Amino acid sequence: MLDVRNLGVVPYQEAQMLMKNLQQQRVDGQIPDTLLILSHPEVVTVGPRARNDGIAPPPDYPSVAVDRGGGLTWHGPGQVVGYPIFKWGERDGESSVADVIYIIESWLIDTLARLGVKGARDDRMQGVWVDGHKVCSIGLSFLRWVSRHGFSVNLCTPEGRVEGVAGCGLATDTTTSLAQLGYDVSTELFVETLVEIIRQRY
């Protein structure tokens, strides 16, 4: 069973609190696997890797520290965010964090393929890449093998904003949106296709 909650625009700190509460409920067996679909007002999340390396977002970006893996990740308008509060390790091919990331990448690559966009993995960084640019970021944390945080997909973000953040050790302009690459993908169709694919597999 999968519970999908489409929440609209949610401030990042509010989403963090919700994720933590749901993660504990999933650990305790009170809820089924739950997928949150939402977007955030503009904010750059700063993971432990960025803090350890002394990397900060540009001064004109709001930011917040987070406990998921990775460095800097931009969130904002025109982006779809998915937080799978899933209990992993109960199905084949889920024996490591790398397996979980591979599965999430597969969801996104297959969703884009159905919408006429060729997404791929890239040795430079986990996530999904299109035409040599990163359009999707993935970062997770776990409690008793239940995930929190998740993925973000840049569909039609404000010009120059995500490109101006050197995400996860990559140079600026490496991360971009599908719209900047010339692809017109509606949020509604992307979410509908993504949820259909996940439901087929879980």
Per-residue confidence in pLDDT tens, the chain, 202 aa = 899 999 999 999 999 999 999 999 999 999 999 999 999 999 999 877 767 666 778 889 999 988 876 788 999 999 999 999 999 998 888 999 999 999 999 999 999 999 999 999 999 889 999 999 999 999 999 999 999 999 999 999 999 999 998 766 677 789 999 999 999 999 999 999 999 999 998 7
Give this prediction's pTM. 0.94
By annotation, the residues acting in catalysis are: 168
Distances (CA, A) of 66 to 12, 70, 139, 200: 10, 10, 10, 31
The Cα–Cα gap between 66 and 140 comes to 10
Q: Which stretch of DSSP H or E encloses residue 29? A: none
pLDDT of residue 78: 98
> 164: which strand partners?
none
Task: Kindly list the structural domains of the chain, giving each domain's residue range(s) and its CATH number in brackets, ordered by start.
Answer: 2-201 (3.30.930.10)
**Closest to 186 in 3D by CA, of 150, 156, 152, 151:** 156
Q: Which two tokens stand for residue 91?
A: 């199905």
